Structures are given as structure tokens and as C-alpha cells.
Amino acid sequence: MTTPDRMHDLCRYIETHAHEPLTLRALSRQAHLSPFHLQRSFKAVVGVTPKQYAEACRMKSLKQKLRGGGTVTEAVYDAGFGSGSRVYERVDTRLGMTPRQYRKGGAGVEISYASSPTPLGTMMIAATDRGLCSLHFGESEAELRARLAKEYPAAKLSPMPPERKSQFAEWIRALSQYLKGSTTALDLPLDVRGTAFQMKVWNYLQRIPYGEVQSYSEVAAGIGRPRAVRAVGSACARNEVALVIPCHRVIRGDGGLGGYRWGLHRKRALIERERAVRAGAD
């Protein structure tokens, strides 16, 4: 059995046993590898550590249980988090909110937003106190504000407050430089929600080199799920943070652009700009 096949089998094992304590040593026995080689091989194939993958699986289970009724405490323990304190320490980095707030559609969560004109139209960024949770393009600030409200129906949305002005200005400046081709990398904090599969796809997309594209089938193969081509397309469509998670770098196998939630003209412009900048650098 090849190492990728062994890691993919281990993924299935983690998904099935995520509600149980899964130590690196126990997983290494399951994979018949030393803990060191398991950690290195798993991250190389999957893109995240075994611990991160297990917590993403628990997160998916927690979301399902929170939506399905029952108490928050029951959902936390049934998902395999082990204690209430652990889930509140870790889960909010994936939900962008506490479990109770997530169940209520973001009630009590404060999200600040700001917009800026760009060559691709109006850009709006929104963030919790942990990082960007939304980056959209549109025709107007009003349109983008309405979209943000639909995305977080119960959250408290407000324009960028004075105390965060410098932070937002820094992020917008970095994004503007990226769109102009002055920089080819974006290192901005993210606060995104997703299933274990979506997080795997999004992590992989961030590793596609600037100026390059891959097909949906290549991405599916890259994450070890070669038959999940449609699911990869769905994960790209569910991406709420354009540019930073570069779903524009994924196209159809025949060379067609495929889909892009912010318009194919923007996807084409981004790909052409990146290729031109890369060609100039070469």
C-alpha cells in the first residue's frame, strides 16, 4: 500500500472514530508508522495534521448535532470534544462564534465591515475579532451589505469602528497591492467556518502557486479524493473569502473557467493578471 493510500485510509478511520480520544501514538499504531513519520506523511498528503483533521471532523459532527436539537452540552460531548472548556477554547476558531451563538445564527457575534473600490468592482471585507470571515466583490456597498446580513442573519453587523481602522486599512492595502500585482502573497488572519472536507479543499487551494491553475479533478486528486470532483466544486462555491482562499485558480479540465460566485469576468481577470505578473517576474 502506498503512503497516500495509507493516509487516506487513516482519514476514513479518523472520520469514523472522531468522537473517541485519538492520540498520535494510537493513530501511528493504526497506520503502522512511527509517530514522527505519521505526522510528516499525513500533513504532506492531507494538508493538515492528524489532530487538526480529527478536530475538523468533530466540528462537522458538532454542527450537525447543534442543528438537530438537544442540549449544547450533549452536542459537545457527543461530538467527542471531551469537555465544555475544550470546545469553547477551540471551537470558536472554526465557528467564528460559540456553539450557542452558532445555533442562533450568530446572535451576539460582532462583525465589522468596510468596503473599497477595486479594479474588480466594490470589495467588502468583514471580520470578527479573530480575522476575516468574509471577502466579497459586487456592484455596490448596499448589495454587499445585504449579502453579509444574509450570511450572518443574527450577528451584530456594524461599519468598521475607529479602534479597528488601522487594522482594516492594513488589510485593504494588502489586498489592493495584491490585485495590482505589486505582491503575490496574502497572509491575512482568517475566521472561516466549514466542514472537514471544505477545510481540506480550502487549505489545498492556498497552496496552489500564484499564477498557476488546477482543474477540479486535479484538486480532488490532490486532497486524496479523486472521485469527489463535484464536491470540490461545491467547496469552491461555498468559499466566503475571495483571494485569500484562491478558488479562482481552479478551472475545468477542458480549460474552461468553470464557475465563480463573483462572476466569470472577475475570475478571468484574476487569472490573467497573475499569469502576466508571473511571466514578468520570470
**Residue tagged active-site, from 11, 57, 133, 247:** 247
The set of cell numbers assigned to 43 is: 500533513
With the C-alpha atoms ordered 136, 142, 145, 149, is the resulting torsion angle positive or negative? negative
Active site residue 133: no
Angle made by CA atoms 147, 149, 150, in degrees to the nearest 5: 65
Measured CA distances, 122 to 119, 227, 262 (Å): 8, 36, 11
Instruction: Work out the burial of residue 227: count CB atoms within 10 Å of its CB; fewer than 13 is exposed, 13-18 middle, 19 or more buried.
Output: exposed
27-61 in b/e form (b: 16+ CB < 10 A) is bbebbebebeebbebbeebbbbebebbbbbbbbbb
The set of cell numbers assigned to 88 is: 469553547
Catalytic residues: 247
